[in-house]
Amino acid sequence: MSTTQSPVTVIGLGPMGESLASAFVEAGHPTTVWNRTASKADAVVAKGAVLAASPAEAVAASPLVVVCVLDYDASDAILLPIADTLRGRTLVNLTADTPDRSRAASAWAAQHGIDYVDGAVMSPTFTIGTPSAVVLYSGSEEVYRAHEGTLAAINGSHTHLGADHGRAAGYDLALLDIFWTSMSGLAHAFALAKAEGVEAADFAPFAQGIIGILPESVTDMAGKLDRGSFPADGSGVLSNTTTMKHIVHAARERSMDPGPLGAVLPFARAVVDAGHGGDNFARLAVHYLEGRS
């Protein structure tokens, strides 16, 4: 490894942490790693990383520390006992958790003289180090810019979202809400088709066609929400609930769980009952924000 590149420490060597460490090594950064199970470091050590014997030793090796573990309970267990060692260094936490946990971590870091940036990796492990990687950051822009060159080893797009340390986590959870809700609906759709004797391979091209409608729907919904105006431009929530009702009934007739729509249908009916049956489906977002049911 070239010693002209800034040193970096990576704590946590699960699939994502290992990918991050590999990217830093391959970009020429002297890279120190630590993981609770030391054997998980074998692959990156073979590439040139140095395995530290403890978190404190790992942190002491670099001005920039990147942590990527399961959640903030895990990161707190590792980092809180070594606050003194972290003092004066920059901690970039790419661990997924809630926005409030990110803000609490930033407050703790500030109390201990630690520069803190929160982040979220929004692409799979195999994209790390390639142009397809997507990473979001929030917190002090000055601190982020100071280490932007080192973080560039992750490759792909890097977006700083603002000073609020919880902003990256907010994006992360909302985007994953789209993904996992969609994946749950897709799994249920395949099951419903299979219950009607439709092979998955035959169904797949039509499923892709439906999914192809979503990008335009995202743009349309965003515009309506920002304007606070919800013209139906076609079918409204009342009509939508009728379609959802048919899906739920068909699933139950096949002795299937109604899936995600089993939860959505009563909520959509509540929107209708509140007098918004003629509005666009985007109206549901307002009711979610208001905590209505």
Beta-strand pair 134-139/115-121: antiparallel
Q: Give backbone dihedrals phi and psi of 161, rounded to 5 degrees, phi first.
A: -100, -5
Q: Taking CA 254 as the corner, what is the angle to CA 251 and CA 256, rounded to the nearest 5 degrees?
A: 55
Kindly report the length of the chain. 293
Residue 267 has pLDDT above 70, yes or no: yes
pLDDT digits over 180-192, tens only? 999 999 999 999 9
Where b means 16+ CB within 10 Å and e means fewer, 93-130 reads bbbbbebebbbbbbeebeebebbbbbbbbbbebebbbe
The full set of domains in the chain, from first to last, is 8-163 (3.40.50.720), 171-289 (1.10.1040.10)
What is the pTM (predicted TM-score) of this model? Answer: 0.94
As a whole number, the mean pLDDT across the chain is 96
- Separation CA 198–CA 200 (nearest Å): 6
pLDDT bin (cut points 50, 70, 90) of residue 276 is very high
